[in-house]
Structure 1
Amino acid sequence: MKNAVVDFLDNLFFAQTADELYAVSKAYFGDLGFRYVNVSYFQTETAQHLGMFSNMSQDWLSHYQLSGYSAIDPYIRMGDALDGRKVVSHDALLDCDSVRRDPVLQRLLLEGRQEGLQSSFLQCGVSRFMGLKAGINLILDRDVEELIRLQEEKRQELFVGAALAQSAFMACTKKEKLCAEYINFSGFQPRLSPREAEVVKWLAQGLRNDRIADKLKISTATVNFHIVSAKRRLDVKTREQLVAVAILQGIVEF
């Protein structure tokens, strides 16, 4: 344990950018058995998710960004609320009532499962001076029992390593040159899927849900699903706000 952690500390010390910190951290935690390493930045005052380093597949990350998942990701929410560490089961989250009532969040977790996500070790901390919080999500492609077993077997490597990485990311402000594994959410313009845009277009024409369903040859329940999803992506509460924002942003034409 001692040599591995000392080597990790040396590598973190000599890393000069957030990119290099991420590469060092990804290699270290990969050696411990974690398949994915996600590092997120938040603003402490607004809780806005600014961006994330990740080695998830590019197809999944592209869909994650396009679908607005960064605003509802339960691991991001936990990371923003957490000062310390936590072990979570992805299947346990799927069984939560709050997730069952939220089709978009449920879809995120199901798609994560298809990517191989099963359990996570979260380590988060705050830099009051910088007004930032960094959250590290170490993801295992095995169930939470395996994660707990790994945690017990490699407790010091995991706990000390996560604390070192979290502190290093909080101290690093050189993000002017970011690699492909970093996604910037702060400047991202929300978009609707083609089907959602089509539903909103007919909403703008004043059609009821049942009439939209007839035109698109889908069920009324599916129309409702697309409306709820579109409202979440554009961060609005009512159908009227949804139509107005979609028109103002040029997402649909009136």
Structure 2
Amino acid sequence: MIRAVIVDDHPLIRETLRQYVETSADIECVGEAADGQETISLALELEPDVVLMDLNLPVKDGISATYDITRSSTVRVLVFSALETDQDVLRALQAGARGYMTKRAAAHDVLHAIRLVHQGDLLFAPDIAELLQVNQRSSQGEVKRLLQRLVSTPRLSGRELSVLQGVCRGLTNQAIADELVIQLSTVNTYITRLNKKLGTHTKIDMYIQAVKEGIIPSPFAERPTEQRL
């Protein structure tokens, strides 16, 4: 029997999750917590197999609670959160989470994720896997490489990425401004920021570094043929 602790600051969500678990013959809910500090105490006291962890918690957030639990016990943490950005996922994985499910997930998907995490796998919701460009069911090696890539790659905003793509396509600053419907001075500001983040000084250097970091596809990358599709 898989022993699980359910963590969420909303009583209704905890009740719903507990009902999910009670439909399963191989998973039981051995405890519930409403904040991060309570979760840590409960995890260390009960030593469950899996903690189903929300991230947006009072007293102590879910990321900090995950870190403390995984550093001081063998309890595995599966994130179950409404937060879905790559930064949220990155922080959770760095803290020691063994998977990341979103609150749009169906009941059977949540139960399946608990089982796989208990077995030692790492599991991601389909949209999170697509965001991170990994398989839904990943190995520890794959996740380690993912973390190395995310940590080493400069974090760009959506607008910064759009400007960078324009630069790499050989557009002038004015052409980028016209395409994005922003002021020329704004484009110049973004390019200054990009040079700082990428450690570059010219547009050519910016393009080379963007390819090196994997932000922009290499022009020499093999393109899939029609037969491979």
Q: Same fold (TM over 0.5)?
A: no
Q: Pick the TM interval, shorter chain.
A: 0.3 to 0.5
**Structure with larger Rg:** 2
TM-score, normalization: structure 2? 0.34
TM-score, normalization: structure 1? 0.32
